[in-house]
Structure 1
Amino acid sequence: MGPMTEQLIDVLDQLATVLESDGATHWSQWMRKARAHLMNSDYYGIEYLLSAYGGMGSLNDLVLGQSCIDGIFSWKPGHIELNEKFNALRSEAAALARAIKHAQG
């Protein structure tokens, strides 16, 4: 396993934790599944991860820190920092996955 893959695995761990902290279980499970493939040296983890990006309802569309109580929308405390961290990790994961894919030819 190369250093970029090790870095990506770490980023996926962090990303899953951030997603879980906001109740985004679908996407946290997606990151953990991609991570599991990579941990087993299965290149499919790269393709699987990249399939989360792009299109309607994709990881790119996700905004964390929202709540709706009794039909009233509100932002959770710390939503700005949460989304900044999420966006940075989401971008880093995509960049690493694309770099690994490119290196594989």
Structure 2
Amino acid sequence: MGPMTEQLIDVLDQLATVLESDGDTHWSQWIRKARAHVMNSDYYGIEFLLSGYGGAGSFSDLILGQSSINGAFAWKPGHVELNNKFDALRDEAAALAGTIKRSQG
């Protein structure tokens, strides 16, 4: 396993933690599935991860820190910082996976 793959695994761990800290289960499970494939040196994990980027309702569209209080939309405290961290990790994961994919082709 190369250093870029190891870095991607670390970023995926961080992404799952951030998602779970906001109460997300769908995308955190998706990230953990991609991570498991990458950990097993299964290239499908790269394809699976990249498949979530782009398109309506995709991982690219996800915004964290939203809630509902008495049926009304509200932002959770710290939502700006949470989304800044999440965006940076999401972008880093896509960049690493894209670079790994290009190196395989």
Normalising by structure 2, report the TM-score. Answer: 0.98
Deviations 1:32-54 (A, max 9, x none): 00000011110000000001101
Residue aligning to 1:31: 31
Give the root-mean-square deviation of aligned CA atoms. Answer: 0.5
Residue aligning to 1:76: 76
The 5-angstrom pairing of residues 1-105 of structure 1 reads: 1-105=1-105
Deviations 1:28-84 (A, max 9, x none): 001100000011110000000001101110011110001012211110000000000
The percent identity for this pair of structures is 80
Write the distance in 2 (CA, Å) between the matches of 1:51 and 1:87.
Answer: 17
Partner amino acid, structure 2, of 1:94: A
Give the count of matched residue pairs.
Answer: 105
Write the distance in 1 (CA, Å) between the matches of 2:57 and 2:23.
Answer: 16
Consecutive unaligned residues in structure 2, runs of 5 or more: none
How far did 1:14 drift? 0.1
Write the distance in 2 (CA, Å) between the matches of 1:60 and 1:38.
Answer: 20
Write the distance in 2 (CA, Å) between the matches of 1:13 and 1:35.
Answer: 8
Consecutive unaligned residues in structure 1, runs of 5 or more: none
